[in-house]
Amino acid sequence: MNSASPTYINVNGRLLDLSTPVVMGILNVTPDSFYSQSRMQTEAAIAERAKQILDEGATIIDLGAYSSRPNAEHISPEEEMNRLRTALTVINKNHPDAIVSIDTFRASVAEECVTTYGAAIINDIAAGEMDAEMFETVARLNVPYIMMHMQGTPQDMQREPHYDNLLKEVFLYFAEKIDKLRSLGLNDLILDPGFGFGKTVEHNYQLMMHMEEFRLFELPLLVGISRKSMITRLLDITPQEALNGTTILNTISLMKGANILRVHDVKEAVEAVRITTKLMNSKAY
């Protein structure tokens, strides 16, 4: 399922072993995320969702305050940080040992979340493309950095995504960024192929089919396909009806080498990890 050697990242001074896949639970403090049940805005709702994520077995809470759905409203850095500040205060009070990832493409937001609130990981949908200061900032902060492939921006990424050679272009994108980040001294890097970001349904399934080829980078791989359009459009269903499809694709992702599953539904993803890990570790008679 994954490489034989353990894959570790340093989170707040502790080594997190990703050779056995882990689950990242989504906590959105936005009014307009595409999946309505993931939106949490009151302090009570944030506290309840954080507790649910951890109780159901997630290793990481991924906290986002900027909706990255297609045609999402663009909010200011100040508004994004105000939302995050409230949520981080609640999480730190109730779960001081939780590993929190910040879903942001803004260097200033990343810096405040890490230095003031102890966030452990930065999860950047733009891989530095939407803020020229991001790479130098995360390198200076020396925190694990998740970089995602996206063609365009959340406001225009799904208008007419086009690739001459999908896999080649995604791989070159990552190769250039890995080289730049390593030159800055940052080694804890995680790749996210960016399912649903600047890609058609067909592009998404092509990426999924070839996902094991990402192993050539020898870096942990995050997959985020939870309730996305590659499921809903194919099956002609709503995000609310897409749990079964999500679990199927999460299981395929695990068998193709995913180290982190970013999900809305933690319990089901944790079960997929346990079953898939058992299967892949079973010895032949």
- Catalogue the active-site residues: 228, 262
Q: Could you please report the per-residue DSSP string of 187-218?
A: --EEEE--TTSS--HHHHHHHHHTGGGGGGG-
- Residues 259 and 7 sit within 8 Å (Cβ to Cβ): yes
d(CA 133, CA 106): 8
Overall size of the chain counted in residues: 285
Helices 201-209 and 243-255 sit at what angle, rounded to 10 degrees? 30
Structure tokens at 108: 């200033």
Tokens 């999460």 belong to which residue? 250
Q: What angle do CA 184, 189, 191 make, to 5 degrees?
A: 130
Q: Where are the alpha helices (DSSP H) in 118-260?
A: 134-141, 166-183, 201-209, 229-235, 243-255
Token pair, residue 12, equals: 């707040």
Cβ count near 161 (within 10 Å): 17
CA pair distance 230, 25, nearest whole angstrom: 20
What is the residue whose two structure tokens read 């803020």? 131
